[in-house]
């Protein structure tokens, strides 16, 4: 498996071909601000290597998945939301509204967050 995918937005961000606002990085992960923040603090953590989604990452490299999660915890500390609280989310598949096909962890906080689930149902 190649480590990057030519048409992948987040591979391009990792390579610096598309600009991003860096927040935190390790040898195997990179964290940057979400361009369309859904909370006061909204950071994405990605493995530098391309995996299609969190499920593939979990089965192919669980140690790297753990490093992504630990990076999310470090982001929360660095952003000063480790005490106030934060949410870490992987969207996987269409019902979760996943739009970018490179595994990414959302770290959200900095304010009281809304509840999960069923936001689109009116009846
Ligand atoms: P998901 O819906 O879980 O696939 O999340 C994809 C996230 O990537 C969304 O929250 C987008 O706002 C975010 N996003 C898309 N393009 C960029 C970009 N160029 N820089 C930073 N975040 C982005
Ligand atoms: Zn990628």
Map out the domains of the chain with their CATH numbers. 9-109 (3.30.428.10)
Please provide the DSSP assignment of 16-85 as one string: TSS---EEEE-SSEEEEE-TT-SSSEEEEEEESS--SSHHHHHHH-HHHHHHHHHHHHHHHHHHT-TTT-
Q: 103: helix, coil or strand?
A: coil
Rounded to the nearest angstrom, the distance between the alpha carbon of 101 and the centre of ligand 2 is 7
- The confidence score (pLDDT) of residue 1 equals 42
pLDDT at 9 over 80: yes
- The confidence score (pLDDT) of residue 116 equals 82
Model confidence at 122, in pLDDT bands (50, 70, 90)? low
102 is catalytic: no
Rounded to the nearest angstrom, the distance between the alpha carbon of 12 and the centre of ligand 1 is 13
- The confidence score (pLDDT) of residue 121 equals 61
- The confidence score (pLDDT) of residue 5 equals 83
């Amino acid at each position: 498996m190649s480590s990057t995918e030519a048409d992948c937005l987040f591979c391009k961000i990792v390579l610096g071909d598309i600009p991003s606002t860096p927040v935190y990085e390790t040898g195997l992960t990179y964290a940057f601000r979400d361009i369309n923040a859904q909370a006061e603090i909204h950071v994405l953590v990605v493995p530098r290597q391309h995996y299609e989604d969190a499920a593939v990452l979990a089965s192919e490299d669980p140690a790297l998945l753990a490093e992504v999660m630990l990076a999310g915890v470090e982001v929360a500390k660095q952003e000063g939301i480790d005490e106030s609280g934060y949410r870490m989310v992987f969207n996987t598949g269409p019902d979760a509204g996943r739009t970018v096909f490179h595994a990414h962890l959302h770290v959200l906080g900095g304010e009281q967050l809304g509840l999960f689930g069923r936001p689109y149902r009116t009846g």
